[in-house]
Chains A and B, each alone.
Chain A
Amino acid sequence: MFLIDLHSITQKKTHESISNRLALVMKSGKYTLAYKTVLGSLRSSKGKLIIIANNCPPLRKSEIEYYAMLAKVGVHHYNGNNVDLGTACGKYFRVSCLSIVDPGWYTLGSNFPSGFCAKMCAV
């Protein structure tokens, strides 16, 4: 019981912080939205972090993950569907996947991008 509560607490906290960080990147950094541009950013090795919504079709999700594995780029599975991810990006449309090219003002003590990915990816 105690463990479950702790888990849900940490999940909620990091989920909020992911949304906050995404908002910061939207404001100050460079990003591309949607599948085609995500693959393009991976091919040209410009993407630094990929975020995929949870209702992204599984074949598309595995394709993006495979490209990211080849490019050694982190993938974060957003805890929400494409509607939520679109809202988190501040957009009025659905966003199934997005690629962060330049995180802007988001600075960390630890080295980028592994620190960035580690902080954004809950685990």
Chain B
Amino acid sequence: MVKFLKPNKAVIVLQGRYSGRKAVIVRSFDDGTRDRPYGHCLVAGIKKYPSKVIKKDSAKKTAKKSRVKCFIKVVNYRHLMPTRYTLDVDLKDVVAPDCLQSKDKKVTAAKETKKRFEERFKTGKNRWFFTKLRF
């Protein structure tokens, strides 16, 4: 009764290269498009999770450990597991459906999302999102 596959929802990708990775919905296309006649959404997810940072680490080491590698992908709803978590990081201006058309657009979008994810990770909020799912 309530739509839950909305932007800012944290999801887990179930199929493909990024299966098991956590992602956040940036844009959802419930009724599909001409090319994809099924419900799908544009997600931005974590390709490489940040490592565990301990108090003993130097500043240089913390910086190295807190790096996040991102991916941007269009995923069918069927290949996602929605969760009750949300991640309110504003990615709408950065990640657009057309940014997947060319390689350099994709790279710049990924770099920008990486920056936003890293600053969110450093604040210590949304800790669930930045921990690796164990399975």
Number of interface residues of A (CB under 8 A): 14
A39 to B77, CA, bound (A): 10
Q: Which residue of A lies closest to B77 (CB)?
A: A43
Number of interface residues of B (CB under 8 A): 12
CB distance from B71 to the nearest CB of A (A): 22
A73 to B3, CA, bound (A): 11
* Cβ-defined contact, B77 with A72, below 8 A: no
Q: Which residues of B contact A71 (CB under 8 A)?
A: 1-4
Interface centre among A69, A70, A73 (most CB of B within 10 A): A70
Q: Which residues of A contact B (CB under 8 A)?
A: 39, 43-45, 47-48, 63, 67, 69-73, 113
Q: Which residues of B contact A (CB under 8 A)?
A: 1-5, 30, 39, 77-78, 81-82, 84
Q: What are 29 residue pairs bridging A and B, where the CB atoms are less than 8 Å apart in the complex? A: A39-B78, A43-B5, A43-B39, A43-B77, A44-B3, A44-B30, A44-B39, A45-B1, A45-B2, A45-B3, A45-B4, A47-B1, A48-B1, A63-B81, A67-B82, A69-B84, A70-B2, A70-B4, A70-B82, A70-B84, A71-B1, A71-B2, A71-B3, A71-B4, A72-B1, A72-B2, A73-B1, A73-B2, A113-B1
